[in-house]
Structure formats: C-alpha cells, structure tokens
Structure 1
Amino acid sequence: MITGQPLPYFQPLIDTATGRIAGYEALARLRHDDGRIVSAGPLFTDPRTPAHDLLELDRTIRKLALERFRDNPGGFLTLNISPQWIGQLQPNKPLPSLQLLAEIGLAPEQIVFEITELQGDIDQLREVVKRYREAGIRIAIDDFGAGYSMLDRVLALEPDILKLDIQLFRQAASGNGNSGDFVRALALMAEKSGCWIIAEGVETEQELHFALECGARYVQGYLFAKPEENFLPERAVEAQFSALRDHYVSSKLAERAQLAKLRAQLTELFGLLNNWLSTGARPEDLPAHANYPWLLRCFLCDAHGTQISPNYEWQQERWQADPHYLDHNWSWRPYFYQILAEAGEDSRVILSNRYRDATTNQYCMTSGLFIDNSRHLLLVDIDLDAI
C-alpha cells in the first residue's frame, strides 16, 4: 500500500535558444502527514509495490499535473509514461491519456510523453506511439544512451526528443574516459535524425557547457531550478542563463585563439621539417622538443597515403626512428581527405578532429601538409594534453 498524498512537482526546461522556460517535467511526489515531501520514483522500480497501486498513483499524478498545467500561460509539459501501462491497453480501444486530455481541456500539442523504458512488445508500443503522435502529442525517449542494445527500438519509435541518460551525461561532462566522445556521437545522431536533445541533471556550469557543446535544445537541472510545487515566471532564469551562455561563448573563443596559436606553430614547424628532410632527415637534427612539447611524432607519406618514412618519436629524452609502420597506408583515415582537398601549390596546414591514439592511448589531432609539389604528405601527431 502506498502511503502519503500524491502530488505533482514541476521542474522547468530551459530553452537554450532564448534562456526562457519553455516547459516543465511533471514529477511524482508524496506528502506525508508530518509535511515531508518525498519522491515517489523509487516505488516505480520496487518490485514489492503492487502493480495496481502503481497504476492508480500514476494516473492520479498525471491528472493532477494536467489540471495544474491547464492554467499555466504556455509552454509544454512532459509526462513519464511506462510501456508497462501501454502493454495493458486493448487494441483499437480509446487511449486513456487522450481521453484525459480532452476531459481536462488541454491541447495535445502542449504535451510530451516521455517513454521511460523500451522493454516489452515493440510493435504494440510503436502502434500506440503512432496514435499519440497523430493526435498531436510529441514523443521523447528517456535515458537515451543507457541501454546500448535498445538503439534499434529507439529508431523504431522515431521520437521527437531524446533525453540523455543522466549518469552517462554527468560522466561525459566531467571529462573522464571515452564517454564524452560517445555522448557527442549520440547527440550528432539525434541531430541528423531531426530530434531535439534534452540534457537533464545539469548542476554545474561545466555540465551546462557540455550540454551546449552537444547541441542540447533544452537543459534541466538544479543549476537553474529544483522541482517545485508551483510554476515559475517564463523569464525567471533568463538573466542567469544569458550570463552562463556568454561565459561558454567566451571559453569557446579562447579555445579558438589557442587553435590559431597552434596553427601558427605548426606552420613554423612544417617549415623546419621540410628543411630537415632536404638536409638528410637525421633524427638528432629534428627541432628541439622543448619548443614543440605537444609533438608526438612526425612521418612522411606519398601522395596516396602510404608511409615512406619511419615514425620519428620523442622517447627517452631523444628523437628515435620507429620503422614498424613503413608501407602502411593511411588514406582510410578521415583527415587524409581533408588534407588531400587542400593539395596544390597553395596547400595549407590542416588539422584533423580530436581522436584517441591507438598506440599511446592519448587524445590527439593529426596535422598535415603536402610538399614537393604535392608528391609527398608530411604528417605530425599532436598530444592534446600537452597544449
């Protein structure tokens, strides 16, 4: 039996394009006799809670949230909906949620149904989602990125919004491990699929910066507002968000200035390396490593991407030649075609995207320049941690 009075709390979603509150997520709470407010969320994952009691709680919270939101001046409301309840619906019967919207008098266009899990009959779920969408309701997928094997089910539902898994998002925003690249890849996939991204659990400026870097359309979290019983004015956090966004832009401009400095250093380095090649290419004659501490290695390829020189790497406080990669062809690497496009008399220094180097397990970029009338390609690998 569930104890406590059910009530909805509301946490705002901030539109990153305007800094204004664009909508709210309705969250289930219980008020106890002593006045304590506790989250009802754990009940939905506790197998000891009777399914009938959960269904009643879910419907009560949903009805109260919709009634409260009906008097809100605008925006949208997201409601969690479990496939567990969808699985109990009878085919071709009216959908209770649509009936409830009509009863309360809310336009479906103001509602987002947030699918909280993707277990169960995907065909039935897809059919119900289709009916919701035909009525004008938008569909969001919660915890996107948490269940990698569920990607096919996400694609099958063709959602309008993807909410990044909060634990994965926080790990990625902290800069630990490979999760940052993984989340960026998920966000890019979402963008190409026409989905908007919601980043929830944003509690720090660093997490906001990462959300913006991922192209999040909406952000949600304690950095701006905790879940509350009442709604906030639309512009309640606009000034705060604007200041944080300006700080983000400033940090990106600083990164751009750093990149411009690196390009200037690379131009200088390529000049020295070109001269070094023409005077015998002895490892001991390479430029002083102290002047370019980010330089991992340099090597020469032919115009087709086949390596024709050893790798020259800084090891044990001196430059050493490593012949292991002679005759390897690197034309399959994305950066090769970036550089190839710039080949010619006015060839310029090109930088690849960031990647993890398989040999050193370091985050790197590769830069290249065609030389000798585009007959040879001079490449250098850059250690990003040293910049």
Structure 2
Amino acid sequence: MPLSELVRYFNAADSAGQSTLYPEGKRVAAWHDGLHLASRFQPIVDLAQERIVGHQATLAVRSEDGTPLSPETAYERCSSPESIVHFDRLCRTLHALNFLAQQRYAGGYLQLAIHPRHLLAVQSQHGLVYEAILKRCGLAPEDIVLDIDAVGIGTDQRLDTALANYRRRGYRLALRQTALATDLLQRLQPAIVRLNEIGPPDTVDRPEPLYFELSGIDNTDTLVAARAAGIQLGQGRLFGEPAADCRPTHNERRVAYNSQIPTGDPT
C-alpha cells in the first residue's frame, strides 16, 4: 500500500481524532496534543564486521512554536493508561511508516522503544495491535526489536507477562538495565542487553544467545575497547548521528554496500 494511503488509513482508524499523521516531504510526521512528532534513526553496527544491521528509532518533538522538547516531556502529558497506550502506539506507528519509506535502500531491523507505562497499561495480548499495524506497513514482528527500560518496573509480574507475550509473537527484546543480574536476564529473556558504558559482559553468566549493545561509541578508542570487552553491537557518532534518513545498507538492486558478494534478488 502506498505511503499516502497508509497515512489516510491510520488517520481514519483513529476514531477519537486525537492525532493526525501527515506527509512531510518524503517522510511522515504527526500532530498530537499541540506537539509536532518526527522520527530519527541511528545506525546499529555489528562491531566485528563494521556492518549496519539495524537502526534505532527515536522521537523528535517540537512544540507549536518550534521549541524542541524531550520525548519524556511528551509522554508526561499522558495522564491516563488509555492516553499512554494511544500515544506510545502512535509513535511506533510513525517510526514504522518512516522506516517503510526507506526500504529501497535501508535494510536490517528496526529497534524502537516501548514505554514502561504502556507495558503496565495493556492487560493482555501485548503486541497484537502493533502486529496488525506492522502488517499494513509490510513489516512483521520479526523485523522489530522492542527497546525496553526495565528500571522502575523491577519485579512487577505484569512485566514478565508483557515480555512473554511479545516474544510469543516473534518480537525480539532489547533490555536497558543499570544493574545486570543473571537472574533478571534469565527471567526476562532479552535478545539484546543495552549498555551506556563498557561494563561487565565477561563477568555476567549470560544466557545464550544474548548480544550486548553499547551506546555512545563516538571515537575509535571506544570502538576498540568495546570489541575487547566482547560487545557485539554498537551505536554512536562514529557511525552516524540520529537523522531523518536511515544510513543506506544496500543499493536499489538489493546489493549490500559493505559486501563483496552480491546478496538478495535484484529488483
């Protein structure tokens, strides 16, 4: 389905009329509660091969007068469980549409945050509605890594239920946690653990398969140190700043730029 038709479809599906998706150049933006919302993408790199394997989506927020705001400020406006579910799903729909718009040259997976309040607000069938949204965009749960901040949720049983539902539907999970604990990893079963600094991968009894991803790789010294620590994935200014456009991973004939062997079927 063309991007313009998808925008019309999702706007019509929002029966409450709380938000509006609209074309903005070659991308899609949204208005919600007086805020302008847009997508930014930062490449995620396989550190051993220096190959882009996915993109992290983040939310860019501006007020009506153009003042930049933090994503968390936008989330704080959501005062009820229903409003947080609507807004969080809107943001992930926006990211999926903008990722879809670049599929001719941007491959790999889409990694995007799901807000902890959303996890606790939905009672059952986590990921079902978003799976339907993804299918409209020609994507599937297997194309998505859900980035989850477990700090503050801790031992709440609803977190276990939510993550089990997402895994059952085929989503992969990336866990952000300040204190890496083997029991936590075994309980929540993430595919990826996200680190803000080079930490203890070699000292954690990690379930297999499990990948560690480091943020803030801004120079070659950090890259070398991350490799030495056994960290497999990374993102940072060394590989590219967050931008409206994904970093290309292949040309329009589906040949990977960083591969000496043509891959995929020419289109």
Q: TM-score under structure 2 normalisation?
A: 0.69
Aligned to 2:179: 147
Tell me how far 1:210 sits from its aligned partner.
1.7
Tell me how far 1:207 sits from its aligned partner.
1.6
- The Cα offsets for residues 280-319 of structure 1, whole Å up to 9 and x where unpaired, read as xxxxxxxxxxxxxxxxxxxxxxxxxxxxxxxxxxxxxxxx
| CA distance in structure 1 between the aligned counterparts of 2:126 and 2:249, rounded to whole angstroms | 38
Aligned to 2:71: 40
- The Cα offsets for residues 249-281 of structure 1, whole Å up to 9 and x where unpaired, read as xxxxxxxxxxxxxxxxxxxxxxxxxxxxxxxxx
- The Cα offsets for residues 194-218 of structure 1, whole Å up to 9 and x where unpaired, read as 2011001111222212211122221
What code does the residue aligned with 2:132 have? Q
Aligned to 1:124: 158
Residue 50 to residue 82, structure 1, CA distance change in 2 (3 Å) = closer
Q: What are the ranges of 5 or more consecutive residues in structure 1 without an aligned counterpart?
A: 173-182, 240-387
**In the alignment, is the contact (CA less than 8 A) between 1:5 and 1:31 conserved in 2?**
yes
- The Cα offsets for residues 158-201 of structure 1, whole Å up to 9 and x where unpaired, read as 1111111x1xx1xx5xxxxxxxxxx23x3453655320110011
Q: 1:70 aligned to 2:104?
A: no
- The Cα offsets for residues 82-102 of structure 1, whole Å up to 9 and x where unpaired, read as 332121112357733223223
What code does the residue aligned with 2:137 have? I
| CA distance in structure 2 between the aligned counterparts of 1:214 and 1:94, rounded to whole angstroms | 34
Aligned to 1:57: 87
Residue 5 to residue 93, structure 1, CA distance change in 2 (3 Å) = closer
| CA distance in structure 1 between the aligned counterparts of 2:111 and 2:46, rounded to whole angstroms | 14
| CA distance in structure 2 between the aligned counterparts of 1:213 and 1:192, rounded to whole angstroms | 20
Residue 187 to residue 98, structure 1, CA distance change in 2 (3 Å) = farther
| CA distance in structure 1 between the aligned counterparts of 2:236 and 2:55, rounded to whole angstroms | 11
Aligned to 2:265: none
After TM superposition, list the pairs within 5 Å mapping 1:1-387 onto structure 2: 3-33=34-64, 35=66, 37-44=68-75, 49-52=77-80, 54-71=84-101, 72=103, 73-92=106-125, 95-118=128-151, 119=153, 122-142=156-176, 144=177, 146-147=178-179, 152-164=183-195, 166=196, 169=197, 172=198, 183-184=199-200, 186-189=201-204, 193-234=208-249
Name the SS of the counterpart of 1:215 in structure 2: coil
Name the SS of the counterpart of 1:226 in structure 2: coil
Residue 187 to residue 64, structure 1, CA distance change in 2 (3 Å) = farther
- Which range moves more in the overlay, 203-212 or 29-38? 29-38
Residue 131 to residue 55, structure 1, CA distance change in 2 (3 Å) = closer
**In the alignment, is the contact (CA less than 8 A) between 1:190 and 1:197 conserved in 2?**
no
Tell me how far 1:13 sits from its aligned partner.
0.5
Tell me how far 1:35 sits from its aligned partner.
4.9
Tell me how far 1:17 sits from its aligned partner.
3.1
Residue 120 to residue 192, structure 1, CA distance change in 2 (3 Å) = closer
Residue 11 to residue 56, structure 1, CA distance change in 2 (3 Å) = same
**In the alignment, is the contact (CA less than 8 A) between 1:87 and 1:120 conserved in 2?**
no
- The Cα offsets for residues 316-372 of structure 1, whole Å up to 9 and x where unpaired, read as xxxxxxxxxxxxxxxxxxxxxxxxxxxxxxxxxxxxxxxxxxxxxxxxxxxxxxxxx
The two structures, once aligned, show a CA RMSD in angstroms of 2.9
Q: TM-score under structure 1 normalisation?
A: 0.50
**In the alignment, is the contact (CA less than 8 A) between 2:42 and 2:57 conserved in 1?**
yes
Q: What are the ranges of 5 or more consecutive residues in structure 2 without an aligned counterpart?
A: 1-31, 252-256, 259-267
- The Cα offsets for residues 28-75 of structure 1, whole Å up to 9 and x where unpaired, read as 11134555554424544x5xx333455443222210101111242420
Residue 122 to residue 114, structure 1, CA distance change in 2 (3 Å) = same
| CA distance in structure 2 between the aligned counterparts of 1:154 and 1:102, rounded to whole angstroms | 30
Tell me how far 1:3 sits from its aligned partner.
4.1
| CA distance in structure 1 between the aligned counterparts of 2:205 and 2:79, rounded to whole angstroms | 34
Residue 204 to residue 7, structure 1, CA distance change in 2 (3 Å) = same
**In the alignment, is the contact (CA less than 8 A) between 1:6 and 1:57 conserved in 2?**
no
| CA distance in structure 1 between the aligned counterparts of 2:69 and 2:124, rounded to whole angstroms | 36
Tell me how far 1:132 sits from its aligned partner.
1.6
| CA distance in structure 2 between the aligned counterparts of 1:195 and 1:93, rounded to whole angstroms | 23
Query: Percent of aligned pairs with the same residue?
Result: 26
